[in-house]
Each structure stands twice: as C-alpha cells, then as structure tokens.
C-alpha cells in the first residue's frame, strides 16, 4: 500500500473537503492510503468524514505569500517534513501549499503532485507559488490548465500535466439529499439559490442585484444564499444591500450547512454567478440532483454545461442577463425538467466518479514511478 501525504491550506473550504473525501474513498481500491496536513483544525474536517487520526496540524502551512510567514518557513518546513516522512508522494490540493511541498519533497526525496484548482486572471500567483518548478500537474478543466501554462510561459519538457474532471457520487448525493431539511424554506411557490463559499469569486452580489427583476416577474419566490460568507464584513455588506433593495422577505441566508443537499434538491433553479471558477463542485452536485442551472460562462463552467441543453450560461457579472435567464426557466416548468434531466445525463456520461479517481491515482502512480523531479 503506497502512502500519499495530502496538504490542504483551506480546511474551511467545504467543497475542497468533499473533493478530498472522494479521493479518500477511492484510495484503497487503487492501492493508496492517505494522510493529511492542514494549517489549523476546523470543524468542517469532522463533518467531512476524514479520520481525525490521519490529520496533522502544521501551523503556517499555505501562508506562503506573507512575508511574516516566510520568516517562519524553516520551522513550518521542519514540521511538514516530520508529518510527511515516509510518504511515497506529496499532493498539494491547491497552489497555496505547493511551495511547502516542493521544498519538503526536495529535502526528503518525495515527488510532488500539485492540483491547480485556480483560474487567476494574472500570471503572478502561478509564478509566486513556484508552479514553474512542478513536474506533476493536475487541473480540473482544460481552461485551468491552459491558464496555468500561459502564466509560466509553458510547461517545461518532461512535465506531466493532465486534466482530471471532478466526478460525483450520484448515489451518495441522492442519499444525503433525502435527509430532512436543515432549515425552514417557507411557503414560496418557486425557489432559486446559490450554494458555496459566498466570497467575491462566487459573486453573490450579482444574484442580489438581479433579485428585484426576478421577483417582479415571478412574485411568489424565495431566494437562498446557501453557505458561509468569508468574514463578518462581507456578510454585513450583503445584508445591507438586501435590505436596501427591499428584499428582506425574499432573499434568505442559511449560513454553512454540513449537508446542503436537501435544500439544493428543493430549488427550482440553481444559480452560480461566479466571476471565476475552475470547475465548481457545487454545480456537479446540482447536476447530480437534476437541477436546472444558470451559471456564468467563466473558467471551466462551459466545459461542464452545454448552453441551452444541460444548463444556461450567461456573461459574468451581468445581473440583467442573469435575471433574464432565471426568469425564462422559472416561467417554463417543462424546460426546467428537460434541462435538469440533461444535466444529470451529462454528469453520469462525462464526469464519472471512477474516471476522476483513475486520473488522480494515475497521476500519483506516475509521480512515484518517475521519482524525485
């Protein structure tokens, strides 16, 4: 059994933890066992189902961009080396921990795999996180891989770079969606909502700004923001805008839900107005529940959904376009069903769970075979 040391800079990211759970569940069948290193403990780790005994806290992990943390780098690396010693490969779940993994891997002779779950609009973050030194690169979409390659002037000869489209356990999502509703949804006839980390990248502001037009066309409506805001200031700003637009009775926030799927299943339209997103798991989960989706045509989303067939794609940060597409679906129930069914069919046909697992463990096996870069 080979050992994979997984580094995760953002244990508060529920979607990333769910992706890791998929890999962890598939690991034994591919001859791997996993251990995890995180910068701090988070209650979401418990909720994710990852065994606490396999998780090591390494303070400072992932804070590569702060000068104060660079001064502590030797201590952080020493702790990381102790945590991952004996591993056959190191896996950086995002760019954030790759500098630490690269240094630790070089010191211990362990190959590293980095997952570029990023769609930055500029080259600097890719370069600052030492992507040019990577020898084994995985990206969640063709768009993400191309952005990363352009940012560093192309991958060097011998670099193994591949796309691993995230898969989804449809049966598990269906089971979790059958649980009791974790929040009261009220009596509105129609419901729309977005789910995920409600930060500027996911752009909940765009849905809030679109809400007056949607409510005017479909009065008997409730809108849900499902997830946690990044901080108190962001939440206060969103609530202030909701009240300023007179939407207090229409737009509701749920906070973080360990199991959001009963609420997602109850939505008539799932909305994803992201400004950038490499390959959102929230949409794969919505597809697993046959939800009709309206999303921004950014990042890897056009690789996930075919506009007009398995979803509706709109320009990013355009509340009017977002509202129009949502209204169109809310006013046409048969079309909602057709698009939702097509989304589920596309998920099961194109983004199979076993395909994702094969690609990921193929990357880990490849890194071990080719040894230290």
Q: What is the mean pLDDT of residues 53-59?
A: 90
The string of pLDDT tens digits covering residues 282-307 is 999 999 999 999 999 999 999 999 99
The partner residues of 35 in beta bridges, in order of sequence, read 5
pLDDT of residue 65 exceeding 70: no
In a shared domain, residues 230 and 89:
no
Are 245 and 223 contacting, i.e. CB atoms less than 8 angstroms apart?
no
Cα separation, 130 vs 135, in Å, equals 11
Q: What interhelical angle do 281-288 and 14-26 show, nearest 10? A: 70
What is the pLDDT, as a whole number, of residue 117?
87
d(CA 281, CA 264): 13
Q: What residue numbers bound the domain in which 204 lies?
A: 170-350
Residue appearing with tokens 């789910």: 195
Two tokens, residue 192: 């729309």
Give me the count of residues in the chain.
373
Q: Looking at residues 305-322, what average pLDDT do you find?
A: 97
Same domain, 111 and 188: no
Report CA 212 to chain centroid distance, whole Å.
Answer: 28
Q: Say yes or no: 342 and 365 in one domain.
A: no
Same-domain check for residues 196 and 129: no
The reply to whether 57 and 7 lie within a common domain is yes
**Tens of pLDDT, residues 224-278:** 999 999 999 999 999 999 999 999 999 999 998 989 999 999 999 999 999 999 9
Q: Are residues 8 and 157 in the same domain?
A: yes
Domain CATH for 140: 3.40.50.2000
CA 330 to chain centre: 26
Q: Are 145 and 137 in contact (CB under 8 A)?
A: yes
Q: What is the pLDDT of residues 152-200, one digit of tens each?
A: 999 999 999 999 999 888 998 999 999 999 999 989 999 999 999 899 9
Cα separations (Å) of 140 from 49, 164, 195, 278? 23, 5, 19, 7
Cα dihedral value 160, 306, 220, 285, nearest 10: -30
Four-CA torsion 196, 16, 352, 191, nearest 10 degrees: -10
**Whether residue 268 sits in one domain with residue 162:** no
CB-based contact 2:368 (threshold 8 Å): yes
Identify whether residues 180 and 316 lie together within a single domain: yes
Residue 308 has pLDDT above 70, yes or no: yes
DSSP, res 155: P
What is the reported pLDDT for 372? 53
Do residues 326 and 207 share a domain? yes
Report the number of distinct structural domains present in the chain.
Answer: 2
Residues 111 and 121 in one domain: yes
Same domain as 175, residue 151: no
Residue 66: the pLDDT is 67
Are 107 and 150 part of one and the same domain?
A: yes
Q: pLDDT band at 118, cuts 50/70/90?
A: confident
Residue 373 clears pLDDT 60, i.e. is over it:
no
Q: What is the 3-state secondary structure (H, E, C) of 29-95?
A: HHCEEEEEEECCCCHHHHHHCCCHHHEEECCCCCCCCCHHHHHCHHHHHHHHHHHHCCCCEEEECCH
């Amino acid at each position: 059994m080979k050992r994979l040391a997984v580094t995760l800079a953002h244990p508060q990211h529920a979607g990333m933890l769910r992706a890791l759970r998929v890999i962890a569940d598939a690991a034994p069948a591919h001859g791997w066992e996993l251990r995890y290193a995180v910068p701090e403990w988070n209650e979401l780790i418990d909720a994710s189902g990852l065994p606490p005994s396999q998780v090591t806290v390494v303070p400072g992990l992932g804070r590569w961009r702060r000068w104060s943390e660079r001064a502590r780098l030797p201590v952080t690396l020493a702790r990381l080396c102790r945590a991952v010693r004996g591993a056959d490969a190191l896996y950086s779940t995002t760019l954030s921990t790759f500098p630490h993994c690269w240094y630790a891997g070089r010191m211990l002779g362990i190959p590293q795999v980095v997952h570029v779950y990023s769609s930055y609009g500029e080259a600097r973050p890719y370069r600052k996180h030492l992507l040019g030194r990577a020898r084994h690169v995985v990206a969640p979409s063709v768009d993400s891989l191309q952005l990363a390659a352009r940012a560093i002037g192309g991958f060097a000869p011998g670099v193994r770079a591949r796309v691993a489209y995230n898969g989804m356990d449809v049966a598990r999502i269906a089971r979790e969606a059958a649980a009791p509703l974790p929040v009261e949804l009220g009596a509105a006839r129609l419901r729309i909502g977005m789910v995920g980390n409600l930060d500027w990248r996911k752009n909940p502001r765009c849905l809030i700004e679109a809400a007056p037009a949607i409510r005017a066309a479909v009065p008997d409506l409730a809108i849900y923001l499902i997830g946690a805001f990044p901080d108190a200031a962001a939440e206060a700003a969103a609530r202030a805008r909701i009240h300023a637009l007179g939407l207090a009775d229409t737009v509701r926030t749920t906070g973080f839900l360990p199991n959001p799927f009963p609420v997602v299943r109850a939505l008539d339209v799932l909305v994803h107005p992201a400004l950038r997103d490499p390959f959102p798991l929230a949409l794969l989960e919505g597809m697993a529940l046959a939800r009709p989706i309206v999303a921004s045509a950014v990042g890897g989303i056009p690789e996930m959904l075919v506009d007009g067939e398995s979803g509706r794609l709109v320009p990013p940060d355009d509340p009017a376009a977002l509202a129009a597409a949502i209204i169109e679906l809310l006013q046409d129930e048969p079309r909602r069903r057709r698009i939702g069914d097509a989304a589920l069919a596309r998920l099961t046909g194109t983004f199979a769970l076993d395909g994702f697992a094969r690609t990921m463990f193929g990357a880990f096996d490849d890194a071990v075979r080719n040894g230290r870069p």
